[in-house]
Amino acid sequence: MIPAPTNPALVDPFARPISYLRVSVTDRCDFRCTYCMAENMTFLPKAELLSLEELDRLCSTFVRLGVEKLRITGGEPLVRRGIMTFFRAMSRHLETGSLRELTLTTNGSQLARHAEELAACGVRRVNVSLDTLDPEKFARITRWGRLNQVLDGIRAARAASLRVKINAVALRGFNEDELFRLVEWCGGEGHDLTFIEVMPMGEMGEDTRLHQYWSLNDLRATLAERYSLIELSDRTGGPARYIRLAQTGQRLGFITPLTHNFCESCNRVRLTCTGELFMCLGQEDRADLRQPLRRSPDDAALEEAIRAAIARKPRGHDFDYSRRTVSGQMSRHMSHTGG
């Protein structure tokens, strides 16, 4: 039996319970994906980052307030020194039943090193970002990445009994010609696959964003030329909507912040590695949790700051490409907030 939270659950002004926390443990990454980062990034000074002990205290406070799903992100979370100490600490909330799921989103580059220990900490599935199966294109889109390293990581995850979901950003003129190859490869390997629309995050320039944007409505129409698409009511706690391919039985997800705004069911907030809480990925409003965290060893002020932040959570974001301009663009890079 899952114990009830010791305090009233977090509920935003639109009666949405907040049960999902995404935590960026670092803004650093060993890739420089063209839709996520500039090639020459200026990262935060390490002194500005929350310690792993502070991240533990913050996340544990959210769990105490009713958060049931914790996703660790970055940057690339597995490049942070000592990060497995944090996963081991969070596993105690799985053992008590307070936390239903502990998971992460990764580029896969470090999975071969950490997959077995992640599984030992109670992680049961991981999301791996993979936009192409072509080694040359992979090197081009990631700038610094090697496809074989990621594929080795995915194999190590499977060997450790971790379920793998592939996240592929839909990029016009880049992976349109690999649509069926990606679907068939994931089906053959037993991976779920989710397509994501590129979001206007970071100062990449409007022309770049418009050139990259591939509507998932168009992607679905292309899929329908080969497969019968069956709508599913499945929900995994995130923003994806799912279909099943009648011919193969495999499930595909679609995250559509542009063509189908999913804000009405948003149950999540995002914590950065510096202790900023973003109540919406597509809005600039944030709350400083580092200050109350460090001001007192008592959590009362921290809980009050969290509740005050949730009370400001907006109805939704303003991302829009429909007028051939990038409306609702955020100046911060995706790696700052953690996706």
Quote the mean pLDDT of the chain.
88
- Number of Cβ within 10 Å of residue 23's Cβ equals 24
User: What's the whole-number mean pLDDT along residues 11-30?
Assistant: 95
pLDDT band at 237 (very low <50, low <70, confident <90, very high): low
What pLDDT score does 211 carry? 75
User: What's the whole-number mean pLDDT along residues 4-10?
Assistant: 63
| 1 marked as binding residue | no
| 33 marked as binding residue | yes
User: What's the whole-number mean pLDDT along residues 321-331?
Assistant: 44
Q: pLDDT tens for residues 272-292?
A: 999 999 998 777 789 999 999
What pLDDT score does 39 carry? 83
Q: pLDDT tens for residues 145-165?
A: 999 999 999 999 999 999 999
For strands 286-288 and 276-278, give the pairing.
Answer: antiparallel
User: What's the whole-number mean pLDDT along residues 6-16?
Assistant: 83
| 163 marked as binding residue | no
CB 328 within 8 A of CB 282: yes
Q: pLDDT tens for residues 41-67?
A: 888 998 899 999 999 999 999 999 999
| 273 marked as binding residue | no
| 165 marked as binding residue | yes
Say which CATH class 20-337 falls into. alpha beta
CA distance 207 to 325: 8
| 266 marked as binding residue | yes
| Residue whose tokens read 């542009």 | 258
Helices (H) and strands (E) in the chain, counts: 11, 12
What pLDDT score does 292 carry? 97
Cβ-defined contacts of 317-322 (< 8 Å, 24+): 317/257, 317/261, 317/263, 317/280, 317/281, 317/282, 317/283, 318/282, 318/283, 319/199, 319/200, 319/257, 319/258, 319/261, 319/282, 320/258, 321/200, 321/209, 321/210, 321/213, 321/258
What pLDDT score does 329 carry? 47
- Number of Cβ within 10 Å of residue 47's Cβ equals 5
| 323 marked as binding residue | no
| 280 marked as binding residue | yes
What pLDDT score does 206 carry? 45
| 268 marked as binding residue | yes
| 126 marked as binding residue | no
Residue-range domain boundaries for the chain:
20-337
| 85 marked as binding residue | no
- Most confident region among 8-22, 207-221, 247-261 by mean pLDDT: 8-22
| 186 marked as binding residue | no
- Joined tokens for residue 232: 């599913």
Q: Among 201-205, 286-290, 314-318, whose mean pLDDT is lowest?
A: 201-205
CA distance 221 to 312: 38
pLDDT at 204 over 90: no
